[in-house]
């Protein structure tokens, strides 16, 4: 390359970081997710293993979307249809052979084409990286007018990571992979997270210059800074939080990241005014919403799509998913609230009560040992101990509608479809198969018969 061409390129690179240039606001994101994760010992692709009930790849896609890039491309291996479905509607690129991260990049560039803006590299098995960290990486890259910028971290144990070596001015000198490092280099604790941002212009040409002269015989993306340096293009370095940038290669690391994610969510909710009586025992989903002054007891698990308003008490060892719980309600202990349930204000769902696909209206109570499924329980009604709605006949699920101010006695069975009018009173032990009008008293149980002396001798006396 002649001197004039190189100078023109450097000027163009500087221009690409100008705040007023088009490419400064154009971002593409490539997520590398082609690894099979053999150490997971699973038939499931590694990136589909879940953190907080959501596949790792879905966590990173959500974070990528928050940056509002022009395009997101995920690199996968052949046969990873489930991963492609998880990242949809974003496009995927197929890496036909596992020949390293630089080779995976080439697969993605076949979709990005001549994109000349910034390209951010993320990993499908690094799910906890935050939007703010990535924004910091991009800002550092732009301010320094670098050709690429790597995100480094100080690892308590650097084993397995590529080591970062910096120049006196803080820019990158070199990256040495673990398997290619000598004993002195392995002592270094500043390591490469794998995440980096680079300029799209001429990237394909730079990637073509990367060689596979290493112990693995692979094409490392970490060799890109060396290629850029040969053209006098500088690579920047910025440090991030190790506990946010950790990857997953084993089940034990998956468990570590689950704990880290839950810890962060617990702190977030407590900062927003939620009381957690024993924080380390409560588990959340990414979309859990809890209002201020709500109190959550120990051992509570929140599945997806839970919305809890202010001043709600969730007592110990409840399992809640797919439900909306309104202000002043009290749930548990040991209650199970299943999807498509609305629990209205000042209601009471007690211990060992299961509610599914039902609307529990204001002030209603189901205090213990009951099942309410596919039903409406009217305002200020009482659903007695052991009572159930019999909603399924083996083929069809039918609805039970209970009016306001109804007393459903203990061990009553309401066989759906059925409607109970306002103010009705269902005697304990009744089995109902017909509708009940308002204010009716219903007794629907077999007549008691006492046979004098017939029990004598039936039970052994000790």
Is the domain of 199 the same as that of 315?
A: no
Residues 122 and 206 placed together within one structural domain of the fold: yes
The domain that contains 119 carries what CATH number? 3.90.550.10
Residues 228 and 285 in one domain: no
Closest to 405 (Cα-Cα) out of 423, 387, 421, 425 = 423
For residue 325, what is the domain's CATH number? 2.160.10.10
Please tell me the predicted confidence (pLDDT) of residue 86: 97
pLDDT at 11 (0 to 100):
38
pLDDT digits (tens, 9 = 90+) for 411-421: 999 999 999 99
Say how far apart CA 397 and CA 452 lie, in whole Å.
44
Query: Contact 279/297 with Cβ under 8 angstroms?
Result: no
Q: Is the pLDDT of residue 80 over 90?
A: yes
Res 65: pLDDT: 98
Do 257 and 241 share a structural domain?
A: no
240/36 Cα distance (integer angstroms)? 26
Domain-terminating residue out of 208, 224, 245: 245
pLDDT for 36 equals 78
Among 194, 218, 245, identify where a domain stops.
245
Final residue of a domain: which of 205, 225, 245?
A: 245
Question: 350 and 372 in one domain?
Answer: yes
Tell me the pLDDT band of 21, cut-offs 50, 70 and 90: very low
Residues 136 and 228 in one domain: yes
φ, ψ at 119 (rounded to 5°): -120, 120
Q: Is 164 strand, coil or helix?
A: strand
Percentage of residues of the chain with pLDDT beyond 70:
94
- Is it the case that residue 23 has pLDDT exceeding 70? no
Half-sphere exposure of 224 (CA within 13 A, CB side): 30
Q: Using 50, 70 and 90 to split pLDDT, how confident is the model at 160?
A: confident
Confidence of residue 215 (pLDDT cuts 50, 70, 90): low
Mean pLDDT of 210-228: 83
451 lies in some domain? no
Give the chain's mean pLDDT.
91
Residues 260 and 139 in one domain: no
> Does the residue 296 lie in any domain?
yes
> Which H or E element spans position 82?
helix 81-87
Q: At what angle do helices 56-66 and 131-144 cross, to 10 degrees?
A: 50
Question: Other CB atoms closer than 10 Å to residue 229's CB: what's the count?
Answer: 16
pLDDT of 14:
39
- Whether 125 maps to a domain, the answer reads yes
The region of weakest confidence among 125-134, 173-182, 338-347, 355-364 is: 173-182
44 within a domain of the structure (yes/no): yes
Regarding whether 272 and 236 lie in a shared domain, the answer is no
| Residues 210 and 341 occupy one common structural domain | no
- 40 secondary structure, DSSP code: G
> Could you give the CA distance from residue 303 to residue 170 in angstroms, rounded to a whole number?
45
For residues 36-65, average pLDDT: 93
Catalytic residues: 368
Q: What is the mean pLDDT of residues 199-223?
A: 84
Q: What is the pLDDT, as a whole number, of residue 44?
A: 93
Q: Residue 25 — very low, low, confident or very high, per pLDDT cuts 50/70/90?
A: low
462 in a domain, yes or no? no
Q: How confident is the model at residue 9 (pLDDT cuts 50, 70, 90)?
A: very low
Tell me if 298 sits within 8 A of 278, measured CB to CB: yes
Strands of 202-306 (E only): list them.
235-240, 275-276, 289-290, 295-296, 301-302
More confident residue, 153 or 448: 153
Q: How many CA atoms lie within 13 A of 3 on its CB side?
A: 0
Rounded Cα gap, residues 25 and 366, in angstroms: 56
Query: What is the domain count for the chain?
Result: 2
- Across residues 119-135, what is the average pLDDT? 96
Structural domain boundaries enclosing 229: 3-245
Supply the pLDDT for residue 217: 72
More confident residue, 393 or 36: 393
C-alpha distances in Å from residue 315, one per residue of 99, 134, 188, 321, 385:
52, 38, 48, 15, 19
Q: Does 260 lie in the same domain as 224? A: no
294 and 331 together in one domain: yes
196 within some domain = yes
- Kindly tell me if the per-residue pLDDT of 22 is higher than 60: no
Please check whether residues 77 and 194 belong to one and the same domain: yes
């Amino acid at each position: 390359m002649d001197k004039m061409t190189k100078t023109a390129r450097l000027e163009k690179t500087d221009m690409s970081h100008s705040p007023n240039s088009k490419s400064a606001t154009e971002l593409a994101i490539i997520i590398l997710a082609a690894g099979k994760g053999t150490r997971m010992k699973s038939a499931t692709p590694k990136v589909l293993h879940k953190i907080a009930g959501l596949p790792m790849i879905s966590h990173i896609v959500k974070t990528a979307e928050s940056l509002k890039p022009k395009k997101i491309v995920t690199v996968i291996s052949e046969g990873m249809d489930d991963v492609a479905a998880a990242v949809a509607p974003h496009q995927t690129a197929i890496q036909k052979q596992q020949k390293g991260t630089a080779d995976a990049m080439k697969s993605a560039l076949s979709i990005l084409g001549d994109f000349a803006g910034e390209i951010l590299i993320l990993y499908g098995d690094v799910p906890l990286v935050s939007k703010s960290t990535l924004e910091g990486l991009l800002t550092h890259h732009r301010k320094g007018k670098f050709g690429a910028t790597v995100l480094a971290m100080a690892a308590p144990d650097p084993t397995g990571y590529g080591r970062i070596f910096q120049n006196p001015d803080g820019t990158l000198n070199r990256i040495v992979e673990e398997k290619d490092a000598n004993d002195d280099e392995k002592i270094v604790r500043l390591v490469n997270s794998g995440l980096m941002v680079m300029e799209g212009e001429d990237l394909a040409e730079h990637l073509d210059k990367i060689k596979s002269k290493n112990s693995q015989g692979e094409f490392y993306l970490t060799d890109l800074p060396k290629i850029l340096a040969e053209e006098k293009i500088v690579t920047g370095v910025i440090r991030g939080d190790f506990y946010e940038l950790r990857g997953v290669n084993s089940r034990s690391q998956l468990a570590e990241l689950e704990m880290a994610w839950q810890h962060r969510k617990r702190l977030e909710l407590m900062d927003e005014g939620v009381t957690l009586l024993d924080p380390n025992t409560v588990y959340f989903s990414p979309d859990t919403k809890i209002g201020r002054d709500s109190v959550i007891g120990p051992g509570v698990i929140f599945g997806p799509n839970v919305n809890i308003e202010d001043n709600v008490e969730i007592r110990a060892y409840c399992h809640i998913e797919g439900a909306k719980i309104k202000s002043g309600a009290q749930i548990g202990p040991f209650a199970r609230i299943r999807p498509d349930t609305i629990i209205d204000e000042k209601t009471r769902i007690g211990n060992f009560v299961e509610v599914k696909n039902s609307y529990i209206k204001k002030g209603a109570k189901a205090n213990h040992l009951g099942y309410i499924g596919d039903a409406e329980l009217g305002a200020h009604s009482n659903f007695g101990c052991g009572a159930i709605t019999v909603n399924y006949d083996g083929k069809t699920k039918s609805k039970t509608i209970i009016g306001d101010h109804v007393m459903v006695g203990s061990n009553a069975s309401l066989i759906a479809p059925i409607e109970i009018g306002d103010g009705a009173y269902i005697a304990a032990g009744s089995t109902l198969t017909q509708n009940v009008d308002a204010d009716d008293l219903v007794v629907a149980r077999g007549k008691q018969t006492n046979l004098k002396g017939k029990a004598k001798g039936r039970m052994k006396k000790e």
